[in-house]
């Protein structure tokens, strides 16, 4: 039995282990999210308003009014605290938690808000026993810990966040852990056999690298939850599985057919460096996000960096001859995609603007800033980033503001920009024309997708086995079209599992967003989960002919340096936000 026959047989346990892994976490994530929505939409602990006005109704009783991380006060039925009075606007004021401090501000210029009989013109931090005046009504802000301190009493939190039973969650996580370990051992053992025997140096490098990554994975899996008790282990396991699949398929593409004349890893140096840097920095990123407010203070800096990254790429970028867009900038001999890092800074700015229900003025400022960013993106042109960031922005915006009509206007504007891009940019026009003729003819504009679809079809449900595919005829098989060779060699079931893994990431992000006790954490978590999911969907839809190809790559699985490092940073931030305490941690 040769290596290819062995690989054909081993495809069954590989697909089964991946499907088992995905099924465990899909069940766990859907159940945890339902549980969270049912029990965890709870007020912040130890903070509330008091009022003796019988006209006021909220989700609490008349005299004790609970505070959520964003609480609106107004006369409309949609307000969290409803005040029926002609002197009170429909959306009059908002109280929100940011940076571990409670703030209050008016929502419109015609909505006066008073603190201790003094009108406020800007957001003002609230102190214990502050009296809030709205219309003819007054509220007393209560901080139970401060009240207990003033009375020389010991204060203890008596309300705990509802938590999905740990025994049920850990049993599924443990099942996922063991299936990952078996998948890891089988996959890398198989890869070792594909390397020509004369390449002893490459075999040694593969064994050392695989062993080091496995040890690092186990250290993180067991130790990080001890340091950060609320850390979402499921997200870490999904990150590890996606990284493993990406490394397996990229090493396989490099190893099969190698002649022994040069190292098979020579073309993967940038990817290995990015994975190494990302995983080494992962605990630091988690610590900074979980225990400090550093992200909250980066909003203005990132607002400058985002267009700056795009502008530098526009001026110094190269790569249009082969890829249709000038997205690569050479720094110290390395090609870097600053547009990938711009995604991180963009999400930080998005969360900073919509950490609470923003005023029309702030929305207008963000609209101008975002218009500049998207104009630069289209000038590159980077259709993939535009298609990823626009829906991500819309979802975060509508969830954090409930501005449905404005969202529709933005969506229509985005469609108009897409039509304009089709008219102006030949690269965009070629992609869309190739996609529109996909099922009628094979031409230079759609040949890539046709070959990719043929590869997906050849794989069937279980694939042909790792190393038994035909990647040579598929253009950009390492990057844009990697999903096609993945399906050919490991089957449609594996392709479906990849889609489900990104759905699970979004489900877990939604759970973290609901449990977050401040709007910034909620918005950033939702933004990261949505971006990862949308990027995967757009790439997979392009490979399978459901959408035009955009040039985006499948996160962590496709070949890349900047893109891999960016996704690892986003996962690190997501893990850090999952580990935050209610007060957001300690300031630096």
In DSSP notation, 480-499 reads: TTHHHHHHHHHHHHHHHHHH
CB atoms within 10 A of CB 90: 14
Distance CA 123, CA 103 (A): 6
DSSP β-bridge partners for residue 106: 93
Which candidate, 102, 374, 86, 379, places its Cα nearest to that of 94? 102
Look at residue 400 in the predicted model and tell me its pLDDT.
83
Distance CA 351, CA 18 (A): 34
The CA-based angle 22-26-29, given to 5 degrees, is 135
Distance CA 495, CA 540 (A): 9
Helix (H) or strand (E) run with residue 163 in it: none
Distance CA 210, CA 203 (A): 10
Residues of the chain falling short of pLDDT 70: 39-42, 52-63, 99, 154-163, 257-262, 318-326, 332-333, 357, 422, 427, 581-588
- Quick one: fold of 47-150? Tumour Suppressor Smad4 (2.60.200)
Who's near 576: CB < 8 A, 6+ residues apart?
285, 286, 287, 288, 289, 290
How do strand 64-66 and strand 47-50 relate by DSSP bridges?
antiparallel
For the entire predicted model, the pTM comes to: 0.85
Whole-angstrom CA distances from 281 to 291, 565, 573 are 15, 10, 11
Instruction: Classify the C-alpha dihedral 141-146-150-155 as positive or negative.
Output: positive
* Bond from prior residue into 56 cis (ω within 30 degrees of 0): no
Look at residue 242 in the predicted model and tell me its pLDDT.
96
The CA-based angle 284-288-289, given to 5 degrees, is 115
Distance CA 250, CA 565 (A): 16
Look at residue 155 in the predicted model and tell me its pLDDT.
63
Q: What is the DSSP letter of 530?
A: H
Q: How many CA atoms lie within 13 A of 185 on its CB side?
A: 8
Domain ranges of the chain: 1-42+169-294+442-588, 47-150, 295-424
Q: What is the DSSP letter of 435?
A: H
């Amino acid at each position: 039995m040769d290596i290819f026959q062995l690989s054909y047989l081993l495809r069954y346990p590989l697909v089964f282990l991946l499907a088992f892994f995905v099924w465990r976490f899909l069940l766990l994530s859907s159940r945890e999210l339902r549980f969270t929505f049912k029990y965890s939409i709870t007020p912040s602990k130890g903070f509330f308003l008091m009022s003796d006005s019988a006209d006021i109704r909220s989700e609490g009783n008349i005299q004790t009014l609970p505070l959520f991380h964003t609480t609106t006060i107004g006369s409309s039925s949609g307000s969290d605290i409803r005040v029926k009075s002609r002197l009170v606007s429909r959306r009059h004021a908002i109280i929100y938690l940011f940076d571990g401090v409670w703030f209050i501000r008016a929502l419109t210029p015609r909505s006066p808000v008073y603190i201790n009989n003094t009108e406020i013109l800007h957001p003002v931090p609230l102190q214990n026993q502050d009296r809030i005046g709205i219309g003819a009504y007054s509220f007393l802000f209560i901080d139970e810990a401060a009240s207990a301190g003033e009375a020389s009493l010991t204060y203890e939190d008596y309300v705990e966040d509802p938590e999905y039973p740990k025994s049920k969650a850990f049993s599924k996580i443990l099942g996922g852990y063991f299936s990952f370990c078996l998948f890891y051992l089988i996959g890398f053992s198989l890869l070792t056999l594909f390397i020509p025997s004369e390449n002893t140096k490459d075999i040694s490098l593969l064994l050392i690298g695989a062993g080091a990554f496995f040890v690092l994975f186990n250290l993180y899996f067991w130790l990080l939850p001890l340091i950060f008790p609320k850390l979402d282990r499921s997200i870490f396991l999904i990150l590890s599985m996606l990284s493993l699949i990406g490394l397996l398929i990229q090493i396989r593409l490099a190893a099969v057919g190698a002649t022994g004349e040069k190292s098979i890893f020579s073309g993967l140096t940038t990817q290995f460096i990015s994975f190494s840097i990302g995983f080494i920095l992962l605990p630091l990123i988690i610590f900074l996000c979980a225990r400090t407010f550093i992200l909250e203070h980066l909003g203005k800096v990132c607002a400058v960096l985002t267009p700056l990254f795009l502008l530098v790429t526009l001026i110094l970028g190269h790569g249009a001859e082969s890829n249709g867009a000038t997205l690569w900038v050479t720094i110290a001999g390395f090609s870097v995609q600053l547009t990938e890092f711009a995604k991180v800074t963009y999400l930080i700015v998005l969360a900073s603007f919509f950490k609470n229900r923003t005023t029309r003025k702030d929305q207008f400022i963000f609209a101008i800033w975002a218009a500049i960013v998207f104009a630069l993106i289209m000038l590159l042109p980077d259709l993939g980033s535009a298609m990823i960031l626009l829906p991500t922005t819309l979802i975060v915006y509508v969830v954090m503001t409930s501005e449905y009509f404005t969202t529709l206007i933005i969506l229509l504007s985005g469609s108009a920009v897409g039509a304009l891009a089709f008219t102006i940019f030949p690269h965009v026009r070629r992609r869309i024309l190739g996609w529109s003729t996909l099922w009628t003819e094979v031409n230079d504009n759609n040949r890539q997708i046709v070959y990719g679809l043929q590869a997906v079809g050849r794989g069937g449900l279980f694939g042909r086995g790792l190393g038994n595919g035909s990647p040579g005829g598929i253009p950009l098989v390492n990057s844009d079209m990697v999903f096609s060779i993945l399906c050919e060699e490991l089957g449609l079931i594996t392709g479906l599992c990849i889609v489900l893994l990104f759905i699970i990431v979004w489900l877990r992000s939604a759970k973290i967003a609901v449990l977050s006790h401040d709007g910034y954490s909620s918005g950033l978590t939702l933004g990261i989960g949505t971006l990862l999911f949308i990027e995967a969907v757009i790439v997979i839809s392009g490979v399978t002919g459901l959408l035009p190809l955009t040039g985006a790559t499948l996160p962590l699985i496709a070949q890349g340096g900047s893109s891999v490092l960016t996704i690892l940073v986003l996962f690190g931030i997501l893990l850090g936000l999952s580990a935050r305490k209610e007060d957001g941690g300690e300031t630096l």
